[in-house]
Amino acid sequence: MAGLPRALAPLRSRDYRLLASSMGLSLLAQGLWTVALVWQVVDLGGGPGALSLATSLQAAGMLASTLVGGALADRVPQRRILLGVALLQTTAVGSVALLALAGALTLGPLAVASLAGGVAMGLYYPAYSALVPGVVPPGELLAANGLEGVVRPALAMAAGPAVGGLLVAALSPGAALLATALTSAAAAACVAALPTLPVRREGEHPGLLTDVREGVAYMVRTPWLLATLLFASLMVLLIMGPFEVLVPFAVRDRAGGGPAEHAWVLAAFGIGGALGSAVVASLRLPRRYLTVMNLLWGAGCVPLVVFGATSELWVMIAAAGLLGAAFEAGTVIWGTLLQRRVPPALLGRVSSLDFFVSLAFMPLSMALAGPVSQSLGLTGTFLLAGLVPPVLAVVAVLAWRLPADELAHPLDEPEAAERVGAPA
């Protein structure tokens, strides 16, 4: 595989190919589950309340497990965690799939499987993020994160739901659940083929709660990390509710569209994200990586204004594509930054804090979207969501002196690539 372009260079490693395959299969299973769960609840006679319970249990499972998952990822070989997660997902979904195909499934076991899936997802992200630097050279981490950024929306937001919908329509929700379980089993097989790498941590391991506190303390005393997480959490609070809850109404009420047109908007977001990730992965890490990343996220929110200002569907689709491209491009830099600047012994916990902050503010943002739109209207709400994040991004960059920090810690030079895990 000599001569691979920069974006595909990590694929030279057999271990990374196995890890990337397991990640891709896990994302595909996630997309399958999203559709299978909805229509299985409907098939059992459940309504919005039942579906809300199942999805809420999944979110609760993620919130409950992600911080502990970060502590575990810093003290237990990550391969074992990923294998356990894949087997948990296979067992939980496989059980309800067999019950569904036998005509014996009720909402109770389905809710339990949803909770188990949430716990598994909360454990997965920190372990995966901490394992990548163990199988990818430092200089190729940007490309690895870029590949993930391309694959994630393509599988979790497009291919998985599409295949799940086809299986439900052609066969049954139970068949889609079985496909989800088999996909998780394939992911487990890929992880099982990986070698067990030692945990990159020395000394005594205190209790899990002490581990979590150490991760929080590191975040608080590290300006670039604290500034970015504070900005990102406020950005999630401002934009996720409008995008998830209000965009369908903008499509319906302003553009005269329906479910199909909303799906085009979501697909544009995913395609834009894949393209944005691919572009960043094919380039060197920006010299001003902190500034570029935060401004990408902040300025990337501006297209949300379109949803409150236009009645043209194609403009909404273009805006969603730009939003996805900017968001995923910044996320690729962020993942690389964590893996390059956070000490290896803390990477799992810091990754879990990143995941936890995003999860914590998503439900609140969605809960506030409706009342805020009733008060400000769709136009006012989308103006707020689109124009406040750029201001917050500039504040984060300037107030925490991020330009001076990135100059003091260059990551675009060959020699800097060797200093992975140096104190930030």
What are the φ/ψ torsions at residue 207 (nearest 5 degrees)?
-65, 165
What is the distance between the alpha carbons of residues 229 and 207, in angstroms, rounded to a whole number? 25
- pLDDT tens for each residue of 280-300: 888 888 999 999 999 999 999
Q: What is the pLDDT of residue 72?
A: 84
d(CA 422, CA 208): 24
The CATH number corresponding to 212-412 among 2.60.40.420, 1.10.287.1770, 3.90.1150.10, 1.20.1250.20 equals 1.20.1250.20
The reply to whether domains 6-192 and 212-412 share a CATH topology is: yes
Token pair 């659940």 in the structure block, residue: 177
C-alpha 240, offset from chain centre: 13
Determine the Cα–Cα distance for residues 228 and 234; give it in Å rounded to an integer: 10
User: Global pTM?
Assistant: 0.75
How far is Cα 365 from Cα 411, in angstroms, rounded to an integer? Answer: 34
Sign of CA dihedral 70, 76, 81, 82: positive
Helices (H), ranges, 102-256: 107-135, 141-152, 160-170, 173-192, 208-221, 223-241, 247-255
Cα–Cα distance list, 199 to 78, 269, 418 (Å): 8, 37, 19
Q: CB-based contacts of 350: which residues, under 8 Å, 6+ apart?
A: 70, 215, 218, 219, 225, 338, 342
pLDDT digits (tens, 9 = 90+) for 210-267: 777 888 889 989 999 999 999 999 998 899 888 877 887 888 888 888 766 776 787 7
- Catalogue the E-assigned strands of 9-156: none
Q: Check pLDDT > 50 for residue 402.
A: yes
- Phi first, then psi, for residue 58 (nearest 5°) are -65, -45
402 in Cβ contact with 291 (< 8 Å): yes
CA torsion, points 320, 325, 326, 330, in degrees to nearest 10? 140
**Single-letter amino acid code for the residue at 385:** A
Residue 21: pLDDT above 60?
A: yes
Closest CA to 58 of 86, 30, 25: 30
- Sign of the Cα torsion 45, 50, 54, 55 reads positive
DSSP helix, strand, coil percent of the chain (3-state; round to 5): 85, 0, 15
Burial of 60 (0-12, 13-18, 19+ CB in 10 A): middle
Token pair 């303390």 is at which residue?
217
Per-residue pLDDT band for 207 (boundaries 50, 70, 90) equals low
pLDDT at residue 415 in the model: 44
**Would you say residue 421 has pLDDT above 70?**
no
Per-residue pLDDT reduced to its tens digit, 50-76: 776 777 788 778 888 888 888 888 888
Domain ranges of the chain: 6-192, 212-412
Return the SS3 of 74.
coil
What does the pLDDT look like over 300-335, one tens digit per residue? Answer: 999 999 999 999 999 999 999 999 999 989 998 998
CB 69 within 8 A of CB 89: no
Judge whether 198 and 210 are in contact, CB under 8 Å. Answer: no
Q: In terms of CATH architecture, what is 6-192?
A: Up-down Bundle (1.20)
User: What integer pLDDT is reported at residue 246 of this predicted model?
Assistant: 82
**Which of 120, 117, 26, 134 is CA-nearest to residue 74?**
134
pLDDT band at residue 205 using 50, 70 and 90 as cut-offs: low
pLDDT of residue 381: 92
Instruction: Using pLDDT thresholds of 50, 70 and 90, give the confidence band for residue 10.
Output: low
Q: What is the pLDDT of residues 100-158, one digit of tens each?
A: 999 998 989 999 998 999 899 889 888 888 888 887 777 777 878 887 878 887 787 77
401: alpha, beta or left, given left = phi > 0 and alpha = psi -120 to 50? left
Tell me: the pLDDT tens digits for 154-194? 787 777 877 887 888 888 889 999 999 999 999 999 999 98
User: Which residues contact residue 205 at a Cβ distance below 8 angstroms, ignoring those fewer than 6 apart?
Assistant: 75, 211
pLDDT mean across residues, the chain: 84
Interacting residues of 404 by C-beta distance below 8 A, sequence separation 6+ = none
The C-alpha angle with vertex 9 and arms to 406 and 146, in degrees rounded to 5, equals: 55
Name the nearest CA neighbour of 400 among 220, 231, 223. Answer: 223
